[in-house]
Amino acid sequence: MLSEDVMSRASLVSSIAEDLRTEMLRLPGEFAFWAAQYAAVKRDHARLRLAAKETRGATYTAVRFSSTTVKITEAALEAALDCDKACMSAKAAECDAEADVAYLYNLLEALRIKRDALVQLASTERQEMRASIEQ
């Protein structure tokens, strides 16, 4: 008959192995979900960047050619673009999307690190089981 210590250890190993299996099965789905979210946010960021450039271009053209009698300097034109509400809101939306992209990128990196840790943990478990069987 096995001692209580051995039974306790066997129960713990079984619990760890079950948790490991559960995580190994759950992780690919979780990664796929967040990768899809990342792709959608990345697409939105690219669209907002284009919209911001388009808004800036339209505002630039409107300000540049608004006065036919006074020549507008590049510095004055840049100041006008920086103060334009449409340009500012487009740039703010682009910045928000960029922050979302960075957040999801880092989340995916964390999931990759978790995957690597799970693989290492599974390898360690196999080695420990092999060693206990050989004894």
**Could you list the residue range(s) of the whole structural domain that residue 84 is in?**
27-134
Residue 74 lies in a domain: yes
Q: What's the pLDDT score for residue 122?
A: 84
Residue 6 lies in a domain: no
Half-sphere exposure of 49 (CA within 13 A, CB side): 10
For residue 13, pLDDT beyond 80:
no
Residue 43 lies in a domain: yes
SS3 call for 1: coil
Residue 21 lies in a domain: no
The per-residue pLDDT for range 45-103, each reduced to its tens digit, is 999 999 999 999 999 888 888 877 778 888 888 888 889 999 999 999 999 999 999 99
**pLDDT band for position 17 (50/70/90)?**
low
Residue 104 lies in a domain: yes
Contact 70, 28 (CB under 8 A): no
17 vs 48, more confident: 48
Phi-psi map region of 8: left, alpha, beta (phi>0 left; psi -120 to 50 alpha): alpha
Residue 4 lies in a domain: no
SS3 call for 125: helix
Quote the number of domains for the chain. 1
Q: How far apart are CA 117 and CA 121, in angstroms?
A: 6
Residue 7 lies in a domain: no
Question: Which run of H or E residues covers position 10?
Answer: helix 4-64
Residue 118 lies in a domain: yes
Q: Model-level pTM?
A: 0.70
